[in-house]
């Protein structure tokens, strides 16, 4: 089946630093990838839609200057959390659509900001 990977799986950083999370489609090309955030015992909230070769589309209330998204190739999208603060601590998950199959999610990245 289709596989979406994320790296790193877990990251701990100091407040004020920036953190980059990678999302890769391993056996298919993805022109569009999606970034979600999930707080404990809550559902997934869509943050932004990442489009290969163009600007990302952000959901209302998501700061585009804080959550930088780059989709430089058909298999890689990155999410950079800039100047991270403790309230940014969360579980970040990406997904991609496999044509005629479904929408597949990565394993997630646990971000902890101290």
Q: Which residues are near another protein by CB under 8 A?
A: 1, 4, 6, 32, 34, 42-46, 49, 91, 93, 95, 101-108, 110
User: How many other C-beta atoms can be found within 10 angstroms of the C-beta atom of residue 32?
Assistant: 16
- Cβ partners under 8 Å of residue 40, min gap 6: none
Helix (H) or strand (E) holding 34: strand 32-38
DSSP conformation class of 99: T
Q: Shortest gap between Cβ of 81 and another protein (angstroms)?
A: 18
In the complex with another protein, the residue whose CB is nearer, 72 or 103, is 103
Q: Shortest gap between Cβ of 75 and another protein (angstroms)?
A: 17
In the complex with another protein, the residue whose CB is nearer, 59 or 63, is 59
């Amino acid at each position: 089946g289709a596989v979406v990977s994320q790296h790193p799986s877990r990251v701990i950083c100091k407040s004020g630093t920036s953190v980059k999370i990678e999302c890769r489609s391993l056996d298919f090309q993805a022109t569009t990838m999606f970034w979600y955030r999930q707080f404990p015992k809550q559902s997934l909230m869509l943050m932004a839609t990442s489009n290969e070769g163009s600007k990302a589309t952000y959901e209302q209330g998501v700061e585009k200057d804080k959550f930088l998204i780059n989709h430089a190739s058909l298999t890689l999208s990155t999410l950079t959390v800039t100047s991270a603060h403790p309230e940014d601590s969360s579980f970040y998950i990406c997904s991609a659509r496999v044509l005629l199959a479904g929408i597949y999610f990565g394993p997630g990245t646990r971000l902890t900001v101290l």
